[in-house]
Amino acid sequence: MRIDVVSIFPEYLAPLELSLIGKARQDGLLELNVHALRDFTTDRHRTVDDTPYGGGAGMVMKPEPWAQALATVAAAAGEATAKPVLIVPSPAGERFTQATAHELAGEDRLVFACGRYEGIDERVMEWAAEHFTVRPMSLGDYVLNGGEVAVLAMVEAIGRLLPGVVGNPESLVEESHSDGLLEYPVYTKPSSWRDRDVPAVLLSGNHGKIAQWRRHEQYRRTAERRPDLLEEFDAGKLPRADRTAFADLGYDVVDGHLKRRADAGGDSA
Ligand code: ADE
């Protein structure tokens, strides 16, 4: 996969030289190029922003440096058949999830456009649609100062799904969100620590029991912390023991979906 990032703070992306993503780059599994937006300006002050039409606080990023930068990056796409995906991090974008990370990990080329200030002139998005599949993306319902931190998160989430990047691909299967649930709790040695014992089932050597305990812990955790995820969970084929586990948590299976019982206690809605 090839990734290009355009930013007024290229140094912000330096952490992508470290750890698993840095290693993936060294190993040739991922090509990542960072471009300075100001290199695509033509004035003496290398201006990238201006006041907003219609008034209001803050500054808006000027369209022409973005068009120059993105045209240069698009041209570098060479003979690629499909349009590269242009991801524009923004709190006004669609939500970036693990499913999005999987989807984007299947692309050959991704380009990230890091906005700052109040955002990028909207006409850039219309123009860019001729060369890219444009996808404004939000990390979550909060506001960052710019797209760079969001790009660090998205590139890590996508990059670790590329073949060969994570040493043991099995660890990708049993992690939070891989099956629409949160991950079960994990423990390591010693088995007793400060008067706290590792759950006995994990020391039992009974792999069937361990797998069931872990699954039920996923249900418990998800019901407690992220009940919204259970609305999407496919409960149609759950074995009886799992239905019982959900019943204990206050959920019935109705038409293949989990429904919280009206009389169930706790805070979960
Ligand atoms: N830029 C500013 N806030 C953001 C957010 N929540 N997600 C992605 N990019 C952003």
- DSSP assignments along 77-120, one per residue: TTT-SSPPEEEEEEEEEEEP-HHHHHHHHT-SEEEEE---TT-B
- Which protein residue has the closest C-alpha to ligand 1 atom 6? 91
Q: Which of 5, 94, 144 to mutate to test the pocket of ligand 1 (most atoms within 8 A of CB)?
A: 144
Q: Which of 9, 12, 86, 90 to mutate to test the pocket of ligand 1 (most atoms within 8 A of CB)?
A: 90
User: Which residues on adjacent β-strands are paired with residue 257?
Assistant: 254
DSSP state letter for 52: P
Q: Which of 86, 95, 116, 138 to mutate to test the pocket of ligand 1 (most atoms within 8 A of CB)?
A: 138
Residues 6+ apart with CB under 8 A from 253: 235, 236, 238, 243, 246, 259
- Which pLDDT score is estimated for 80? 62
Rounded CA-CA distance 254/91 in Å is 35
Rounded CA-CA distance 70/75 in Å is 8
Rounded CA-CA distance 253/220 in Å is 15
**What is the whole-number distance in angstroms between the Cα of residue 171 and the centre of ligand 1?**
28
Q: What angle do CA 63, 66, 68 make, to 5 degrees?
A: 110
Please name which of 255, 183, 194 lies closest in space to residue 225, comparing C-alpha atoms: 183
Q: What are phi and psi of 14, to 5 degrees?
A: -55, -35
Q: Tens of pLDDT along the chain (269 residues)?
A: 999 999 999 999 999 999 999 999 999 999 999 999 999 999 999 999 999 999 999 999 999 999 999 999 999 866 666 899 999 999 999 999 999 999 999 999 999 999 998 999 999 999 999 999 999 999 999 999 999 999 999 999 999 999 999 988 888 887 878 789 999 999 999 999 999 999 999 999 999 999 999 999 999 999 999 999 999 999 999 999 999 999 999 999 999 999 999 988 765 44
**What is the whole-number distance in angstroms between the Cα of residue 154 and the centre of ligand 1?**
11
Question: Tokens 């349009």 belong to which residue?
Answer: 83
- Which protein residue has the closest C-alpha to ligand 1 atom 10? 90
DSSP state letter for 38: G
**Protein residues with CB under 6 Å of any ligand 1 atom:** 89-91, 138-140, 142-144, 147, 150
**What is the whole-number distance in angstroms between the Cα of residue 140 and the centre of ligand 1?**
7
Residues 6+ apart with CB under 8 A from 164: 24, 27, 29
- Which pLDDT score is estimated for 99? 95
Query: With contact defined as beta carbons under 8 Å apart, do 117 and 58 qualify?
Result: yes
- Which protein residue has the closest C-alpha to ligand 1 atom 2? 144
DSSP state letter for 269: -
- Which pLDDT score is estimated for 170? 84
